[in-house]
Structure 1
Amino acid sequence: MLVPLYGRKMCSEKFPELYTDIFAKNLCNSLDYDFSELDRKNNSFLYEFGSLEAAMRQLDIMWEVKEYLKTYPKATVVNLGCGLDETGKACDNGSCKIVNVDFPDVIEVRNQLISNYEREKNVACDLKDYSWMNEVDGSNGVVFFAAGVFHYFKRNEVKDLVLELSKRYVGGCLIFDSVGKLGLKLMMSKTLKNMGISDVEGLFYTNNPMQELNWSDKIKITSKGYMLGYYDMKSPKIRFSHRLLAKIGDDMMKMAINKIEFV
């Protein structure tokens, strides 16, 4: 939970004209935790790009959530595998509801560290146990999002979840990131290792989301490049090499943001 949190804080400090996450900055500053090891990696090329990657993912997802709320202002915004992320608050329009779902131990930590808005609640449940859906009101619309979550699901688990959501929440949508087979391999072997994360297994990938996620005639799929599909990443502080790597990520690693609408 801490590594992506710190990454969002770092990107806010390095590239404020591109990305701002006041929630991540405030939470990191309030924690009694030694970030010195992460601080030492702060200026390394790969770690800096990893933070940019996390920031672009959040920006893309926020763009999609806010677009949905323009049509359904009283919708429920559901953060799947929320960790310590407060994207729901960042997208709040003053009338939507916010639901954060994660494992019970994660929600226990979240409850200790983060205060909820009046229209916000946390649900402690494994995403593969669909009982959490009973806590989600979709009567005024619902937009689900999962950031960096489905990599650790089996393909059939992602499919089953999508199909269940499509049955329960007609008019809603799901937004999530994905990478291709090569991208997943590199993420597991390089990126996570560079961040000091081990003992995790990457499972789900898609090289062609428009074809490979077309599981039902009850869903509509759109997909854009993860790094450059929504924003051009133009900033005087972003290196040319980072932009080049971003293009490679979108084109070769098949890094994408996918939106599945339930029709």
Structure 2
Amino acid sequence: MPKVRFTGERATMLATLYGRALDAKSPHPLLNDTMALDVIQKIEFDFGASGLKRGDAVTVALRAGHLDSWVREFLAVHPEATVLHLGCGLDSRVYRVDPGPGVRWFDVDHPEVIELRRQLYPSRDGYEMIGSSVTDPAWLAPVPGDRPVLVVAEGLTMYLKEDDGRALFRWIVDHFPGGQFVFDGFSRRAITMQRINKVVQVAGATLHWGIDGGAELETIAPGLRCVTTLSAFDLDGYEKVGAGYRTVVKVARLLPVMRRMSTFYRLEF
């Protein structure tokens, strides 16, 4: 049983893994990520000390499920595409989505994270793992750039420094003929309030890049267009969370500053 001793942003992936597992264990799961439930039983880590409250599992599942739906939409139109899952952590997204035989899927994360993934997840056709920081452009060079690309990044952009994040987007735009980015981002206000984010504080992580709308993302590279912005508080499924959390969501929907704190973006190029 591998002992996991990650710190900083690498440690935050354990909280979201735990959230997906708790959802799978619940009587009425939303995401039903049974592989997450299996994985937490294979590694030695005190998940109770991850900073994630049990009531947050539903929101973890909602967020993951929303990005899964955008991935499926893209692959339905582009059955022969390349998927780059950046900052994949211990997410089983490739198995949940189960892409068809024409899809090349690459999970990218730090070498020590990928080493752990190799111990926990099975191989599958069309699936590769790359051990590298996403901010090192060398990881992209061997990835074929001959197909439309879908870049999916959950819980990544806020941990990047803005210059590094913008450079990452430009490398991908330059490497592929076209495609989409689907990801979540925090506003600048959310970045300034990171001290109240329990998961971030327990992990000893630091948030950097705040994004205040699709217009500023469009300035990263020519031809990059923001086609969808969706507040995390507008996701479907909040009727299934506890009464206290539902109240928070109702208030957040009424206050523009809160509504923009966490947003899902879909960009095309």
Common fold by TM > 0.5: yes
SS at match of 2:70: helix
Residue 133 (structure 1) aligns with: 140
Contact 1:3 1:195 in 2 (8 A): no
1:82-97 aligned within 5 A: 82-95=88-101, 96-97=103-104
CA–CA distance in structure 1, aligned partners of residues 64 and 82 of structure 2: 18
Contact 1:57 1:227 in 2 (8 A): no
CA–CA distance in structure 2, aligned partners of residues 252 and 244 of structure 1: 16
SS at match of 2:36: helix
Residue 156 (structure 2) aligns with: 149
Report the alpha carbon displacement of residue 35 of structure 1 after superposing the two structures with TM: 4.1
Instruction: For structure 2, list consecutive stretches of 5 or more residues without a partner in the other structure.
Output: 1-12
1:114-125 aligned within 5 A: 114-125=121-132
Residue 6 (structure 2) aligns with: none
Contact 1:226 1:257 in 2 (8 A): yes
Report the alpha carbon displacement of residue 193 of structure 1 after superposing the two structures with TM: 5.0
CA–CA distance in structure 1, aligned partners of residues 214 and 46 of structure 2: 43
Query: Which residue type is aligned with residue 125 of structure 2?
Result: E
Paired positions, count: 250
CA–CA distance in structure 2, aligned partners of residues 37 and 201 of structure 1: 18
Contact 1:183 1:249 in 2 (8 A): no
Residue 233 (structure 1) aligns with: 238
Change (3 A) 1:169 1:243: farther
TM-score (norm 1): 0.85
Report the alpha carbon displacement of residue 28 of structure 1 after superposing the two structures with TM: 1.3
Residue 218 (structure 1) aligns with: 223
Report the alpha carbon displacement of residue 32 of structure 1 after superposing the two structures with TM: 4.2
Change (3 A) 1:36 1:147: closer
**Given the alignment of the two structures, is residue 30 of structure 1 paired with residue 34 of structure 2, yes or no?**
no
Contact 1:104 1:125 in 2 (8 A): yes
Contact 1:23 1:86 in 2 (8 A): yes
CA–CA distance in structure 1, aligned partners of residues 200 and 164 of structure 2: 28
TM-score (norm 2): 0.83
Residue 66 (structure 1) aligns with: 72
Residue 113 (structure 2) aligns with: 106
RMSD: 2.3
Instruction: For structure 1, list consecutive stretches of 5 or more residues without a partner in the other structure.
Output: none
Residue by residue, what CA displacement relative to the aligned partner does 1:226-260 show, whole Å, maximum 9, x if unpaired?
A: 2324x24233xx22321232355564332111111
Report the alpha carbon displacement of residue 36 of structure 1 after superposing the two structures with TM: 5.3
**Given the alignment of the two structures, is residue 205 of structure 1 paired with residue 210 of structure 2, yes or no?**
yes
**Given the alignment of the two structures, is residue 242 of structure 1 paired with residue 251 of structure 2, yes or no?**
no
Report the alpha carbon displacement of residue 124 of structure 1 after superposing the two structures with TM: 1.0
1:35-50 aligned within 5 A: 35=47, 37=49, 47-50=53-56
Identity %: 24
